[in-house]
Structure 1
């Protein structure tokens, strides 16, 4: 589990496609001196909000294997050497939950459609899903003043409609995460609040039971 509080901005230093093109897997090598300072093989690190398992950490870098499902649902499909990424280690038991509960299980992607610069903050609007329509329906889990993870960053929603949502980015977020670099047209990873999905599932199950007359 993660909190959506980014620890450092790292960099992808190498991308190797899997041997089976149909499988769509990849091996990434990521530079992140802080998050690898105590990393061991098998640990979890969120890379742009995607929970990945650490392989052979050494010299401030670590490897990760990314399967086809993850590539299809996230922006890591377009990762190349030099791509800057948000990094966060799994939260330790007893630590403060500074953001919100983030699983690192990306639900889909969104595109930056508007940025409005203010004196002390920046308003950003995201259209849910890419041009191919990936991620339709996710906005039903998004509510004003609720939480959402964007590229692994815990943010508060300031507005939402059927196709998009908006957030406000403070100077610290702009400076210490990659969101300060996300221009109009950029693709980001989304993870909606898991509590909303559980509530929907439970209500749906109860409605089905009531409809059956049991």
Structure 2
């Protein structure tokens, strides 16, 4: 699953404005989302789902099912996404365009759930970019404080306190600020995101 907002100016990547204009931030968000969906399409999975806040656009590739996000805070929306799953599921966001099938591979391998109940992908900012659950339980996410420096630590502790065996994925940087965008693009120069950022910064950031 990919949890995302439709890349509409003024509604996505608002922390990129400034230095970018809202339509430029939306262009970066669209590139990040397209990169993320491409990685998901190339990864082994029985079903690929975009849990979307908004309306799909021509950026949506074939092979991705779309379901609407629920209402509520981020913890409620994450919980609802997992609550709709009947079996093992892995969820990522749209903020890590550097994600690749190789990074996701451990949580999607045939033996991914052998001796493992959850996969956790920590983020540099203290949050998390990926979460996988062998037996999706919305209660594992509800009430976790989101978008704060301790989000990841609280979420991971929620898993271990529930007696789950947790394995970690590599730590990645979310794109929240212009500084994040530069670092991520430098680490993943062949992505659509890096190309979009290059077009904007090459023309001069206002």
Please say which structure displays the higher CA radius of gyration: 1
Task: Give the shorter-chain TM-score range.
Answer: under 0.3
TM-score, normalization by structure 2: 0.27
Greater fraction of residues in strand: 1
TM-score, normalization by structure 1: 0.26
